Amino acid sequence: MYIVTGGAGFIGANLVAALNRRGDTNILVVDDLKQGDKFLNLRDLVIADYMDLSEFREHVRSGRLRNTRIRGIFHQGACSDTMEYDGRYMMDNNYTCSKELFHFAMEQNTPFIYASSAATYGGSRIFTEHPDNEKPLNVYGYSKLLFDRYVQHQLQLTRCTAPVAGLRYFNVYGPREEHKGRMASMIHQMHQHILTGGVVKLFSGSGGYGDGEQRRDFIYVEDVVKVNLFLSDSGSVQGIFNVGTGASRSFNDVARTLIAGLGRGEIRYVPMPEVLREKYQSFTQADVSRLRAVGYDAPFHTLEEGIGGFVAARERAGS
């Protein structure tokens, strides 16, 4: 059995879909369907079971899953709202829960691949997996960083034979993120704005960048899934890895590519809200040297290829 936490979410559901495509259906999806429309991500997928996160944590704590043969755990579940200021809730969800699952996986000697985030770098201008570059700007980024450091410390203390990998996702976009609302990728939000109003609003000059020229490393979700599966199947890889394309592109590039693909739309520039100015990453670009060094050699989608795939998937879905 595979376990996918956050399996009804964006990346989790895409992982389940990829497992299905290779013939794996013995999958336990763990999530919280309090937000009812998330079930839409699961209705075309084949799984063996579903469990609410609170129930699953109780099963882990009580040892009721101890005799279950688990082929791998993909821990994608988390509170990913960068504007969430309830630190107690964030740390329980993203840190304490992750520690419980890490130790459960090590007891089971099963691969443990989990979602970290480029938010661990925060205000840094260098995106290499090193403590000098880790400067989170919010409690979400800190919760991810603290767990990364916990895992690194545990790997130094113990001889873990199963793969353990923390994946610092950069700006992931693609199908199955409709439920995320304001936390959906900017590519998803721009696409919706073009369809509904014909206008993409980008921030005017800030952080030393011109209008709409703030830059991010945008990575298509299909590439993120491939990295997860590669590391789970590796048999031995351990550590923290950036997961991005290694190329930085501007928001103008994104908007123009979407407008060209849809055949309509225009760009307007608006001032950045004051509440974001001190917490906004105006530039990200993953250093993927460490990921390449452990043998991941598949090419990443270019921005144009990924947006093309995203638009085609949305058209097939009828939205």
Q: What is the pLDDT of residue 56?
A: 97
Over residues 105-117, the pLDDT tens digits come to: 999 999 999 999 9
Ordered domains of the chain (ranges, CATH): 2-172+221-246+286-300 (3.40.50.720), 181-215+248-283+306-317 (3.90.25.10)
Q: What is the largest CA-CA distance in the chain?
A: 57
180, 201, 226, 279: which is the annotated catalytic residue?
A: 180
Q: Which residues of 65-94 are buried (b: 16+ CB within 10 A; e: fewer)?
A: beeeebbbbbbbbbbbbbebeeeeebbebb
Residue 76 is encoded by which pair of tokens? 């994608």
Sequence letter at residue 220: Y
Mean pLDDT throughout 158-185? 90
280 belongs to the catalytic site: no
Pick the most confident of 81-90, 116-125, 156-165.
116-125
Q: Kindly state the percentage of the chain with pLDDT values over 90.
A: 81
Over residues 183-216, the pLDDT tens digits come to: 889 999 999 999 999 999 999 988 889 999 999 9
140 belongs to the catalytic site: yes
* Predicted confidence band of residue 80 (pLDDT cuts 50, 70, 90): confident
The span from the CA of 127 to the CA of 135, in Å, is: 11
Is the model more confident about 121 or about 160?
121
Q: What is the pLDDT of residue 167?
A: 98
Lowest mean pLDDT among 57-66, 175-184, 234-243: 175-184
121, 140, 173, 220: which is the annotated catalytic residue?
A: 140
Q: Is a pLDDT exceeding 90 seen at residue 30?
A: yes
CB atoms within 10 A of CB 95: 18
* Predicted confidence band of residue 319 (pLDDT cuts 50, 70, 90): low
* Of the candidates 53, 34, 135, the residue with the CA atom closest to the CA atom of residue 101: 53
The span from the CA of 277 to the CA of 130, in Å, is: 25
Query: Angle 84-37-100 (CA atoms, 0-180°, nearest 5)?
Result: 50
The span from the CA of 164 to the CA of 184, in Å, is: 27
Phi and psi, residue 15, nearest 5°: -65, -45
Q: What is the pLDDT of residue 83?
A: 67
Q: Is a pLDDT exceeding 70 seen at residue 141?
A: yes
Phi and psi, residue 267, nearest 5°: -105, 135
Average pLDDT, the chain: 93
* Predicted confidence band of residue 161 (pLDDT cuts 50, 70, 90): confident
Mean pLDDT throughout 72-91? 85
Q: Please say whether the beta carbons of 251 and 202 come within 8 A.
A: yes
β-bridge pairing 215-216 and 249-250: antiparallel
* Of the candidates 282, 176, 298, the residue with the CA atom closest to the CA atom of residue 245: 298
Q: Is a pLDDT exceeding 80 seen at residue 159?
A: no
